[in-house]
Amino acid sequence: MTDDPSRRKVLKNSGVLAGAALLTGVTTEGTAQASPRTGASSPVVELPAGRLRGSTEGALAVFKGVPYAAPPVGALRWRPAQPHPGWQGTREATAFGPSAPQPYREGGDQVLGTHGSPPFDEDCLTLNVWTPGADDAKRPVMVWIHGGGFISGSGSMPQYSGETFARDGDLVAVTINYRLGPLGYLYFGEDGTGGNFWLTDQLAALQWVRANIAAFGGDPDNITVAGQSGGALSVAALAGARPKGRPLFRRAILQSPPLGLTIPTRAESLQRTATFLEIVGAKNVAELRAVPWQRLIAATFEMFGRTGRWGYWSTPFLPVIDEVTLDRNPADLLLSGAGADIDVLIGWTREEANFAFALSEPYVAATKDQVLARARDTFGNRAAQAYTAYEEARPGARPVDVLMDLIGDDLFRMPAVDLAERRAARGRPVWAYQFDLPTPAHSGRLAAAHCLELPFVFDNFDKWSQAPFLAGLDPRVRDGLAATMHASWISFIRTGNPNHDPMPRWDRYDRDSRTTMSLDSVTTAVGDLAGHWRRLHRPTAP
């Protein structure tokens, strides 16, 4: 049965969607039942690698800690992901695997709280699956890739649980772990194997999903890969993989992708690796392979100091244009080849950079001269004009406000708009949004900061209780916007179109209307929402 968007209805039950069958206009008579095939207490699936036993959580079958590649330890540290050898008998899949090694501070920070918690281990290449039924229903699949500045996060975080998507959308939801920080992003240029070990992990996970997801009730030909921040950059990078000339997935959701990052060349990455070797006291990769991962992660803190620049988001570890796994900026991979055929939903938050800078006392004390100097990096001799434009756009703006808006545009909004522009010019499908709802937390200083849209997308605020940046949100506004966004994401995953009743019509981004959905207490479709800033950054833009 084809999905008719005009028949779809969003039903609310305590702020969440009432059911996928009603959401999509498909009657329960025409769908598989959502009970695990082998019994309520212990769903079992047969895979080429071996048998898996999961658990039942509510109406879902859940499989946790499923290995998708060989443990990247010993000689496999800083090697591309390798196939997992499989196992004998029945493997229990009822507990999450360890998260990738990463910096950790008890109690977390003032914005997100914690983002990735122990246990940590190099043997971390596992994924998790939530499904309404391990049957043959061929449901759409969502694969979620977490962000975290390339150094933190986990597919096992409660905030990223696939439960709400699987339950509310009749979807199969998958979350993954992949190598982070020095273990995932250092580049050595040895043996011609390239770098970007994080990307080889993600590619192995996606290939695992393609090969195995049918056993979990999913459709391997109807996969959406979604991610936020560094995870969204990963989604774009994965678009370049094209076995047999076709994309590995049908749709892409990119939430706040930092497409404005300058991805280092091989030579530049080798310089960064040399800095890391000096910090650790190792001469080469062979010596580094003998260093315990705890010491490698500890060196991350000094890497921040060695690689950071004033007025820029700190990223001590970065992908590399290694000409093997990645040969161009990830955004370009969504414009040609297999990536051009992928449906794209892309967006940003209105005050992205407030996340990293609004609560930083040194930046709060920034002077106009300092910000003007930073603005020259972007605008050259038009820096003063740009400063005035940003200052006038935010009444009572301080220099730090101008700086944060400039950084947010440089790193997130303008490159995302540029990708939408270029796809629209080629007639390729793309939908754009801006998340505008500010949080009152920290006296409103965070505004609509980076990451704030995440609990709205997942519609699972109960899993975000440790996150300070949600304090003070009006529950009625919060839950109403979450229901709207969650339903749009589900609709896009199922149909390639984010529209649903009763939200306003959300047209594709094109070169005539440049429709962008403003996601706020009142959700509104706006024509050319970023037009003023697009022309400021690119004076010749139409």
302 annotated active-site: no
Is residue 116 within 8 A of residue 99, CB to CB? The reply is yes
Question: Which of 122, 163, 351, 352 is an active site residue?
Answer: 352
List CB contacts of 456: < 8 A, sequence separation 6 or more: 435, 437, 478, 481, 482, 485, 486, 519
Q: Which of 154, 229, 256, 488 is the catalytic position?
A: 229
DSSP three-state, residue 428: coil
Contact in structure between 219 and 138 (CB atoms under 8 Å): yes
Helix (H, G, I), strand (E, B) or coil at 357: helix
| 3-class DSSP state of 175 | strand
Two tokens, residue 112: 């997100």
Rounded Cα distance between 493 and 143, Å, is: 10
- What is the C-alpha to C-alpha distance for residues 280 and 283, in angstroms, rounded to an integer? 9
Angle made by CA atoms 186, 188, 193, in degrees to the nearest 5: 105
The tokens describing 269, both together, are: 């990455």
Q: Please say if 443 is a catalytic residue.
A: no
Give helix 399-408 / helix 368-379 axis angle, nearest 10°.
20
Q: Which pair of structure tokens corresponds to residue 427?
A: 């007639």
Dist. CA 214–CA 139, nearest whole Å = 9
Sign of CA dihedral 473, 477, 483, 489: negative
CA-closest candidate to residue 169, choices 319, 21, 330: 21
127-141 core/surface letters (b: 16 or more CB in 10 A; e: else): bbbbbbbbbebbbbb
Q: Is 381 exposed, middle or buried (0-12, 13-18, 19+ CB in 10 A)?
A: exposed
What's the Cα-to-Cα distance from 155 to each of 145, 161, 437, 446, rounded to whole Å? 7, 8, 26, 26
Cα torsion at 49, 52, 57, 58 (round to 10°)? 90
Active site residue 537: no
Under 8 Å between Cβ of 315 and 218: no
SS3 530: coil
Active site residues: 229, 352, 450
